[in-house]
Amino acid sequence: MEIKINNTIKEIADFATIQDMVAFLDITPAGTAIAVNNAVMPKAVWPHTVLKPTDNVTIIRATQGG
């Protein structure tokens, strides 16, 4: 299915959970925050939250800098 991730259309598996998407995109979960339709999703719900084609996902990764 296609979903919007950070304003870009991406193809992921049907019935993918947030955790599946993170693994598919090869994202390190540590330091990563994910919002689905502007609602921040705690890491505890990632394995249980199934994404839908209408979802708008925002992925934010912490970076170090100064």
Residue 66 lies in a domain: no
Domain that holds residue 18: 2-61
The pLDDT of residue 65 is 65
Work out how many domains the chain is built from and give that number.
1
pLDDT tens, position by position, 1-57? 999 999 999 999 999 999 999 999 999 999 999 999 999 999 999 999 999 999 999
Residue 42 lies in a domain: yes
Residue 35 lies in a domain: yes
CATH code of 35's domain: 3.10.20.30
- Starting at the edge strand found earlier in the chain, the sheet holding 32-36 runs 8-11, 2-5, 56-61, 32-36, 39-41
The pTM of this model reads: 0.90
Beta bridge partners of 35: 40, 58
Question: b/e string for 52-64 if b means 16 or more Cβ within 10 A?
Answer: eeebebbeeeeee
